[in-house]
């Protein structure tokens, strides 16, 4: 298994319960709770990179309240439209603005999955693996779940580990695993994968 080194940096204890990753339902506004999977994924990514690379960003996991504060701040940059945060470019552009304003350099890697021209499974597995090998989580935008149980349509999750074709994700405060082979074979709309590394 290949995984990020410190998944616990993304864990939260709230009312004696451990959450694995952050939950878009922690937003207080109804629209943000509905459309907030992309900004939530971006928050997890940036908090992990911030701690790993000491980037001095104003986003930290110091408990539930600090996370919700970070989620709301990041929303102002990684902002969903009427169809949510439905492209890799919206995600990329929002985080790029954060990096510019905070005078840090981030390398962005993406792999879009076109449902009409799907890449070989090996290429997708390799992309995810390369991100995790660098100790960074990988964002996964899924426009159609390919009938994978537990994976929502039109949704972002964060990949924290991979073993063979199986990915292990944090989604809405819970652990989720799914088979990339099954998703790639059956998704009707595709999606994409993204990760960031910091220039230090």
Q: Which helix (H) or strand (E) holds 183?
A: helix 180-186
Res 44: pLDDT: 98
pLDDT classification of 200: cutoffs 50, 70, 90: low
For the segment 26-55, the average pLDDT, to the nearest whole number, is 96
Res 85: pLDDT: 86
- Whether residue 194 is predicted with pLDDT greater than 90 in this model: the reply is yes
Res 71: pLDDT: 97
Q: Please tell me the CATH superfamily of domain 2-198, with its number.
A: Phytochelatin synthase, N-terminal domain (3.90.70.30)
What is the percent of the chain with per-residue pLDDT over 90, rounded to a whole number?
Answer: 92
Res 14: pLDDT: 87
CA distance 111 to 191: 9
In the chain, where are the structural domains located?
A: 2-198
Annotate 125-157 with DSSP letters as a single string: HHHHHHHHHTT--EEEEESS-TT-TTPPSSEEE
Annotate 31-63 with DSSP letters as a single string: HHHHHTHHHHHHHHHHHHHHHHHT---S---SS
Least confident range of 104-108, 182-186, 191-195, 196-200: 196-200
CA dihedral over 128, 132, 134, 136, signed as positive or negative: positive
Res 18: pLDDT: 96
- Mean of the per-residue pLDDT values for the chain? 95
- Whether residue 174 is predicted with pLDDT greater than 90 in this model: the reply is yes
Report pLDDT digits (tens) over 94-144: 999 999 999 999 999 999 999 999 999 999 999 999 999 999 999 999 999
- Whether residue 180 is predicted with pLDDT greater than 90 in this model: the reply is yes
pLDDT classification of 81: cutoffs 50, 70, 90: confident
What is the percent of the chain with per-residue pLDDT over 70, rounded to a whole number?
Answer: 100
| Single pTM value for the model | 0.96
DSSP, res 115: T
Res 127: pLDDT: 98
pLDDT classification of 90: cutoffs 50, 70, 90: very high
């Amino acid at each position: 298994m290949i995984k990020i080194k410190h998944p616990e940096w993304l864990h939260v204890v709230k009312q004696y319960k451990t959450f694995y990753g952050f939950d878009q339902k922690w937003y207080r506004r109804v629209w943000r709770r509905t459309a907030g999977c992309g900004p939530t994924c971006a928050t997890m990514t940036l908090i992990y990179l911030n701690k790993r690379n000491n980037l001095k960003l104003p986003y930290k996991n110091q408990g539930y309240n600090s996370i919700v504060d970070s989620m709301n701040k990041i929303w102002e940059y990684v902002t969903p439209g009427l169809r949510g945060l439905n492209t890799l470019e919206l995600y990329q552009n929002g985080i790029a603005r954060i990096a510019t304003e905070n005078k840090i350099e981030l390398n962005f890697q993406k792999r879009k999955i076109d449902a009409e021209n799907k890449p070989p499974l090996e290429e997708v597995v390799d992309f995810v693996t390369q991100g995790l090998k660098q100790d960074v989580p990988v964002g996964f935008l899924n426009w159609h779940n390919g009938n994978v149980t537990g994976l929502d349509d039109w949704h972002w999750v964060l990949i924290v580990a991979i073993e063979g074709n199986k990915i292990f994700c944090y989604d809405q405060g819970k652990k989720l695993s799914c088979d990339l082979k099954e998703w790639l074979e059956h998704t009707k709309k595709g999606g994409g994968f993204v990760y960031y590394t910091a220039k230090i």
